[in-house]
């Protein structure tokens, strides 16, 4: 059951591997850590994520900034993504599939 404790760490580990200017989905991370059904928990973990984890690069499978409201400020998440060269409109990442990064592929 120590593996359960690793759940958070695994999420952080994968999130930390997200390249600059790239984004991924909660389900992708969940699968990468072997908890495909716990995509929701991934978001929960990111909420508790340390500052060295780019949680702003993690969106839902639709490319929408679902957790933007959980970030400090109002548009911090969007600002961060735009700062990385991504185009965010209406809390939605344009060409999400194009910027999508699969942790398992590790491209």
Q: β-pairing, 24-25 with 58-59?
A: parallel
The secondary element (H helix, E strand) that includes residue 88 is strand 88-89
Contact criterion met (CB below 8 Å) for 101 and 24: yes
Tokens of 97: 């599939």
- For the chain, the farthest-separated pair of C-alpha atoms sits apart, in whole angstroms, at 42
Contact stretch for DNA (CB under 7 A) within 24-32, 81-89, 92-100: 24-32
Q: Is 90 in the site for DNA (CB under 7 A)?
A: no
Residue 30 to residue 35: CA distance in whole angstroms: 5
Q: Could you say which of 9, 16, 21, 40 contacts DNA (CB under 7 A)? A: 40
Q: Is 78 in the site for DNA (CB under 7 A)?
A: no
- Kindly state the smallest distance separating residue 90's Cβ from DNA, in Å: 13
Q: Is 14 in the site for DNA (CB under 7 A)?
A: no
Applying CB under 7 A, which residues contact DNA? 4-5, 7-8, 25-28, 30, 35, 37-44, 46-47, 49, 55-56, 58, 60-62, 66-67, 70-71, 77
């Amino acid at each position: 059951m120590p593996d359960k404790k690793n759940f958070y760490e695994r999420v952080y580990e994968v999130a930390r591997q997200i390249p600059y200017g790239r984004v991924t989905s909660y389900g992708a991370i969940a699968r990468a850590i072997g908890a495909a059904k716990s995509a929701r928990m991934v978001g929960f973990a990111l909420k508790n994520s340390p500052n060295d984890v780019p949680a702003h690069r993690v969106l839902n499978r639709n490319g929408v900034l679902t957790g933007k409201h959980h970030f400090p400020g109002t548009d911090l998440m969007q600002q961060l993504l735009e700062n990385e060269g991504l185009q965010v409109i209406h809390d939605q990442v344009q060409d999400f599939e194009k910027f999508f990064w699969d942790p398992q592929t590790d491209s």
